[in-house]
Structure 1
Amino acid sequence: MSLFGRRERREIAELNAYVDRLRTQRDKALKDAARWKGVAERASEMFTDTSLVNDRLTDANLAVARRLTRALKACARYRAALNKTATEWMAECQAHALRADRLQRQLDDSLGLNTAPVVLGATGQDRREQKMRYDK
């Protein structure tokens, strides 16, 4: 003879089934929690590594920026020196050209190349009649 009736046995069976479902849910929740804990730990490690890399890159970028600034200043100084030298060179070239023109005029004067007959003779070839087939 049983201590429980049919109804009590059915309720006990339902309660046991309910307890089994709760245990299954608990086990699944524990597995999920462990999995998400691992994911969170990996994400934290990745964030830390990324932060370290970012710090190193920031330092490297600052060093490059400093080097570029120094290089730009050196280029500006070099460009200013080149401009000064080019200006001086152009002034010297102009002075030499003026001197050469003056000397050429003096030479032409001393050799008599600036006289009217010489100037008129400069176009003499254009006024000459063609006498040969290879002439103009």
Structure 2
Amino acid sequence: SRLEDKHCSVREAALYVLQAQSSLSDELLTAVVARLGGKDRDVRETALYFLRAQSSLSDELLTAVVARLEDKDGDAREAALDVLQAQSSLSNELLTAVVARLGDKDRDVRKAASDVLQAQSSLSDDVLTALALLLE
């Protein structure tokens, strides 16, 4: 697919075209999620912008986004958190993964994790317990 083209400008253009579509399959959205870990900053930023505009990503896609939290690149981890922040409601499992990023070595990632948690209207007892453990 064009999302995997060797030229970053082609990947970026493909993301812009997809952005104009009203509905996309989970397969295509998963391919966009994969771009969050790409080497080219412009492609990562375009993928981030695209995914943040999706108001309701499936659990499967959100799991793929959360997998980016383990990326070696701090920018990719931060981008994944930015996508999660745009979601209105996240499961306890996903929020627990976000809580773990509060201990990230990268300050921007820690801030993005904090922003995700603050954007949630309420946090479960499990998530609050995970937060409390960080304070010990």
TM range (shorter): under 0.3
* Structure with a larger share of its residues in helix: 1
**Which structure has the larger Rg?**
1
Tell me the TM-score normalized by structure 1.
0.14
Structure ranking higher on relative contact order (CA contacts 8 Å, 6+ apart):
2
